[in-house]
Chain A
């Protein structure tokens, strides 16, 4: 058996966290802890890049598969990647070191514990994207609640307790039904191994209920309208690094789950429930865009824009077209980069002025020009300007949607316009305009670490905007295989 590269990806952050646990805080600013965690996460990133390079893009089978007996005669610990999951793994390992760098500026107390929580979170998130067994997936999916609960609750803002509870209970409530579905699948099909389930399929008469059970979990996590209300609260109260993890990666778990499980396991039910998804997605896109327009709080505005963007993602997934699904995946990656960057941008001004309210800013372009340029870039990427990665995703999704349902596509396109409206208006109110607040003159421009983080995020945003081929090549075979399988399943109904 070859080297267990995926398990080491999963385990390495946890081992790093264990090391951190034993580090002593000598000089009062935890520099050892910072370097250990940064080192761990960067090594993990390099491993995942190696994984991408050695990944064979021409076949749709799962690669680097590890299959070990775990619970006698019942569950195997099975992990593996295909073209879809590998991108999410890289996104995770890419965002985590940036989060760790960013804590320098935002987290003041109990830094070591914070880094431990982030590293453990990374382990769980990678686990979610690798898992090829439903129970293993559920394990990682749920386990992630613990560190995130603590991140919001310990290091969050004034209403952190309420937000942390809301986040935890909402997600748990959605997930328990998924657990019922997973165990039922075991009794119906005799296995929880995803690859085997792809082959043997699931009895048609159970599919609708099982699909709904999975949907209840993923809809909360995505989050889809109307169960999105935990997200703005969680985002607003979470510390910057927590918001970044939440927006960039946690939300993607559900989108990934929709592709991997809802589409893959329940093709007939997915067809049946497509109108439901379309309706909810379109409502999410339009309604939350309007809500975003009204926000006074920058973080809340970006949180609502996340809901709208995830509306595009779910829409694209259930178009069941090659372009739609590819677009959704790219949109998720792009949103991972852009929303992370936007939250970091808010974090930058928040660390200086301790206000997230839009009206306390204005005219800062003359004071902090570097920041304003980068903020501009990410604002444009968020509204999907051609040349940024956001455009590719939205464009492909809308293309897929037009092929499937004209009305939905038109309504979704409205969302693009609204997206441009609230993002540009946000930018205008914060960066341009008259300098009213005198305190703003004291603001310093980006320091070195912030500069590094935002540039690191800007490069892939632009690169994939002009040249999305590496992404598309990676996912193409897997997606087309998924759609073929889906069509075969439908035909054999």
Chain B
């Protein structure tokens, strides 16, 4: 008998989803209670994950198609916490747009469930199942504000392009299956060691599909439009949670089945990384909408995480995981600020709307200042350490070119972060924004800003947890 305790969080979430759906059918006006219940579901799932899987070193289930190891448990915890935090700060936004329905928490839960399956997958089929579950939920979430043209456009765009990339991925999977005769990652890794061209095709197709999911250049085209069009809280979800899952899968693909073929993919990853860093930095300069800007900046940040992956070392993988964890916190903080830019039930999303914010809202703009400098990677804020670990790993492999290009692109990127700061601090003030934010929003902003600001005092803790993740 398999030890089902290891996937208890997944089982628990799927049962809760069904329960919440049933509740929604039988009880009128149940959106509030569904919301609160799903928050509990996230917390309980996180606690179960910590309890059941955190001490597990590596175990497989169902004939090796599901794997529970240090990486999967860590990433699952971040995913669950990310989902929790997104949900918790969404409610006031949704209420204003009158889309505070039971579907929202259920969709978020199901996409998180899909991500957890992805994170644990050790088999092409299981991986694809998880991917589709999360994508389907995400398509709907992108169009969630269905009365707005932009939101529908975003969902449609995301659906079409994502389906295309899923197709590429599947084609790659089928090629890999054809060569190795198995869908299991561990088996594939022992079977694949030839240098056949078609095999390279398979790898490339899979990498393209995955690069699309994490919006790495040149497969990033969907990101700005989708990020801009989706409701802000969904954009927050997009920038944080699916990236964690996709990154985990990326790591797993590269370092389990394809480990022997490192010569084939290392150049591709380096290219994706450099292209994302540079493009993300340069393209963000001209943006006027904050959500679009965040889209480009997230492309840039994905470039840095990929730089860690390109090193083919445990340090590199760990640095990427640290990077994405810190990035998630910074994004949460940034969007909490964005959700506070509200006046008379209308949200403001342009950079110019921040003009002179520091005079009317000194605390809000101070936290935004900290967040932006951290995103730009200026010490002593958390964002600097994230980059520092990545480049430390990159330089360990003597990849000087990658490190220098990466660091130079931080200088370019600093420019557009500085521009926002300039608008906040140096420009003339506009009307005041509302200050009656929900307690949770204030909490998430304060909490994440303090984490960013004071990370440098206790940098070892995160490293200690992450350093247990040894894939190779």
Contact = CB atoms under 8 A, between A and B. Distances in A.
Interface of A: 69-72, 113, 135, 138-140, 142-143, 145-146, 149-150, 153-154, 160-161, 164-165, 168-169, 172-173, 176-177, 179-180, 183-184, 186-187
A246 B459 CA distance: 31
A183 B392 contact: yes
Contacts of A184: 395, 400
B396 A71 contact: no
A315 B415 CA distance: 33
B459 A71 contact: yes
A72 B463 contact: yes
Given A149-B418, A150-B425, A172-B411, 18 more contacts: A72-B463, A139-B379, A139-B380, A139-B456, A142-B384, A161-B422, A165-B422, A168-B414, A168-B418, A169-B411, A172-B414, A177-B407, A180-B391, A180-B400, A180-B403, A183-B403, A184-B395, A187-B395
Contacts of A143: 378-380
B410 interface: yes
B464 interface: yes
28 contacts: A70-B459, A72-B463, A72-B464, A139-B456, A140-B379, A142-B384, A143-B380, A149-B418, A149-B421, A150-B425, A153-B421, A153-B426, A160-B426, A165-B422, A168-B414, A172-B378, A173-B408, A176-B404, A176-B407, A177-B404, A179-B407, A180-B403, A180-B404, A180-B407, A183-B395, A184-B395, A184-B400, A187-B396
Contacts of B392: 183, 186
Given A70-B459, A168-B414, A176 B408 contact: yes
A67 to B, nearest CB: 16
A145 B369 CA distance: 13
Interface of B: 362, 373, 378-380, 384, 388, 391-392, 395-396, 398, 400, 403-404, 407-408, 410-411, 414-415, 418, 421-422, 425-426, 456, 459-460, 463-464
A168 B426 CA distance: 15
| Interface hub of B395, B396, B415 (most chain A Cβ within 10 A) | B395
B459 A142 contact: no
A183 B311 CA distance: 15
Contacts, number: 82
A154 B414 contact: no
Interface of B: prevailing SS:
helix
A131 to B, nearest CB: 12
A210 B99 CA distance: 57
Contacts of A180: 391, 395, 400, 403-404, 407
Contact of B414 (A71, A113, A169): A169
A321 to B, nearest CB: 35
A127 B298 CA distance: 32
Contacts of A187: 395-396, 398
A176 B384 CA distance: 11
A135 B391 CA distance: 13
A137 to B, nearest CB: 11
A174 to B, nearest CB: 9
Nearest to B460: A72
| Interface hub of A154, A172, A187 (most chain B Cβ within 10 A) | A172
A161 B418 CA distance: 10
A150 B424 CA distance: 11
A165 B419 CA distance: 9
A67 B395 CA distance: 26
